[in-house]
Amino acid sequence: MTTATTRLADYRPYPFQIPNIELDVVVEEQHIAISSSMQIEPALTTKVPLVLQGLNLELDSIVINGSSVPTDAYSLSSSELVLHQPPIHPFELKIICRIDPFNNTSLEGLYASESMLTSQCEAEGFRRICFHPDRPDVLSRYRVRIEADRTRYPVLLSNGNLVSKGPLAKDPMRHEAIWDDPYPKPAYLFALVAGALQEVQAHFKTTSGRSVLLRLHVENGDEPYTSHALDSLKKAMTWDEKVYGLEYDLDEYNIVAVRHFNMGAMENKSLNIFNSKLVLADSECATDGELERIESVVAHEYFHNWTGNRITCRDWFQLSLKEGLTVFRDQSFTADLHSKAVKRIEDVSMLRNTQFREDSGPTSHPVKPSEYKAIDNFYTTTIYEKGAELIRMLHTLLGQQRFMAGMALYVQRFDGTAATTEDFIHSIAEGACANGEQLGFDLDQFQRWYHQSGTPQVCVKRHWDSQGGTLTLEVSQFTPPTPGQPSKAPLVIPMALAVIGPNGRIGEEKLVVLDQDTQSVSLRDLPRQAKPPALSIFRRFSAPITLQMDVSVDESLQLLALDDDPVARWEAGQRLWRKILLARARKQADKPLEERLALALNQLITSGGESDPSFLAMLFGMPGLAELEAAQDVADPLMLYQVYQSLKSWLGVKLSDPLQNLLERSRLNWGAQWPAGQGERMLTGLTWSWLAAAGDCEVRKEAVEAVNGPSMSLARAALRALQPVECNERDEALKSFYERWQDRPVILDTWFALEASTPRSDGLEQIKQLLDHPRFDPMAPNAIRAVLGGLASNPPVFHAIDGSGYNFMADQLIAIDQRNPITASRMVKVFSRWQTYAPSRKEAMHRAIDQLASAELSANTREVVTLMQPEH
């Protein structure tokens, strides 16, 4: 299959405007009839064809200004409807077509999810509902009438405010609802839901005094699990008013929970559609991390109301304009509500283990790509999380007050339009300099971050003048070649740094702007001493880079104990963990270092070296496997997995008494209601993991008991602690968890993931049985990701030297691609790092990629597989 390439350089404005659309949606038993009436205004004075997109639509009729359009006046293909000579003056175009949502397995457009009908139109799903340009720069006001059977579809929802609803006079067994959205929006924000749903209500009063009705729609029986999501929504609305001065603009706000959904959630104007996993929660059925994740995602979709909906993207190359900015906003929201330090560390860890991995592989791409074949393949950590880091760097360079001045100007200037990343950057800069201040950096050079792929490497060499008390840093930056970009220009990199002495920070923090290939930085008036002071660098992770700098063990231990920046303090610990784990992986264990780190950890526990239990858990956390693989010359995932387990076992024995004391203290807050007690529950899980690995039978027994306890956080922590340990308690705990939650699909996905990722000698056979399990739902992306994602995170099974894990994964992805290309194309990236492995494993993974390449694949999956092939 050959798919056309879409290029940013080819962008041209759509030659027609469509200010208003009226949709009439009639739901029948076997199909849906869609009538779209579009008010069309030509933007050009010359005649040009009107090209509309359409997929799997059965065309009934086309009418212009009340007159039928003859068949020779248009052409129809499998993907387009072209009117050859439309009027050059404004006209009404009415198109009637039919769709079949009941056999739509792609989960795009309008489709059936169990007993309800739901929609997903981002990025290009609206063309599966009706003929339309289906591009984000065509903004329209929508008025939607939905008609359906009253019994089967008692709830009818769309965007905007509800105008009217009630039974049909001609057929009382059917009813209708009419929705009106007064704000122009692109088609990707259209939403429609019809089904037997239960509603939970709340109200929110805005700063200006308007009352907004909040409605959350779930399947029958799920009502008790909605209060957390509603509370999260109210927190987000309050925060956006307080911090950004942005108020909600409609009379009601609806959220629907859907089991079958490719994404986490979707910000459709006033009708957010959520994956059920990110709505239904309380402390008994969701972990602390999941409760925070739900709070964050609810906020993210709400924040899109302004950064994404009121101001949308001109084209899909601008995707990070809305996503990177909104991720930055939801990260800031979570940091304000909870712990800034812990949130920042979580985000940095995620970036290193996912986005950095993407940046260094065959699917590497810029935050603002220059071309694509399937836009769905660009919903990546680069667009979202790296995009957020670019916004954060602007905030760091400008400071809170100047950054917010730029945000206010951006909203004022582009409200109601489809904007670009350049529009945003220039608004931020102009607003920040409104009072005559200098920007402080080269704006055009900063924008290279959007166009250059790859993770920059910053190398720092230090020179110490003990007589003059001057520390000189020779700093260079280099971004490695990535596909299509063999050479890179220097970027604007904010480097926050400070000096740490034996009693803490010396002097003020300094922000240095790196903008040359090489440059020198001097820190003067430092204490005159024989050895240079410790350097705290890239504090708060002030730029998404990798740092190359010689740091001694003594310096890392000093920073771990004394640095006043929590992120830099955590990073000092991460350096020590990496050094220890990588040495063990080389079979050259550094026993003296291990002893020193164990002593430092003991002091953190016993001497009150860290009073915040959540941050203490961060300091005890080891780097992720993906991060460690990237640090190896030849990645050896199985050896790293074994090293993790052996180090946990050693620490469990070495620190047995202090860990038992820590566990005893943590138990006091096990029952505290989230977010209280979260840190203690995190520490409990970590302690269980180390002690269980060390063979502590009492801890293993306690973990089994926790699986049936009142806290999902502790239950999951117990399962994770037992998972790598081959013992009877592990099997007992997994069985108990299944028996308790087998009737709750959202939670049962966790069991599928745990079973699939548990290392067993017959692991692959176990995974095959999971796919045949009567409660496995092959149409639900969550279930697919649980089992196959579990396989990918199970090194002994997935990375088996005979290639059986790779071949099985390829077979499954080929089958999934036939029904859901989006899910398949995202999961196929598990093969993207194949060239980093040793020859035998590399060859086995390459055979699996060839297996994929020889299959009939969707355009989405084909694009990713092609990028991974060595000849590309």
Q: Which residues are catalytic?
A: 301
d(CA 358, CA 376): 16
The tokens of 682 are what? 């995190």
Whether the Cβ atoms of residue 229 and residue 300 lie closer than 8 Å to each other: no
DSSP state string for 443-483:
HHHHTHHHH--S--EEEEEEEEETTTTEEEEEEEEE---BT
d(CA 81, CA 70): 13
452: number of Cβ within 10 Å: 19
Instruction: Fill in the DSSP letter of residue 539.
Output: G
Whether the Cβ atoms of residue 118 and residue 400 lie closer than 8 Å to each other: no
The tokens of 708 are what? 């049936």
Question: In 3-state terms, what secondary structure has residue 148?
Answer: strand
Whether the Cβ atoms of residue 155 and residue 278 lie closer than 8 Å to each other: no
The tokens of 802 are what? 């005979």
For residue 463, give the nearest of 511, 517, 519, 522 by alpha carbon. 522
Any idea how long the chain is? Answer: 872
d(CA 254, CA 258): 13
Whether the Cβ atoms of residue 271 and residue 158 lie closer than 8 Å to each other: yes
For residue 545, give the nearest of 401, 407, 322, 351 by alpha carbon. 351
| Cα 683–chain centre separation | 25
The tokens of 631 are what? 């640090």
For residue 228, give the nearest of 157, 288, 281, 169 by alpha carbon. 281
Amino acid at 597: L
Backbone φ and ψ for 59, nearest 5 degrees, come out as -75, 130
How many angstroms separate the Cα of 502 from the Cα of each of 56, 148, 534, 538, 557?
69, 73, 9, 20, 11
Report the side by side order of strands in the sheet with 265-266.
Answer: 198-205, 211-218, 252-258, 271-275, 265-266
- Radius of gyration of the CA atoms of the chain, in A: 28
For residue 112, give the nearest of 122, 100, 121 by alpha carbon. 100
Peptide bond into 123 cis (omega under 30): yes
Question: In 3-state terms, what secondary structure has residue 134?
Answer: coil
Whether the Cβ atoms of residue 419 and residue 392 lie closer than 8 Å to each other: no
Question: In 3-state terms, what secondary structure has residue 733?
Answer: helix
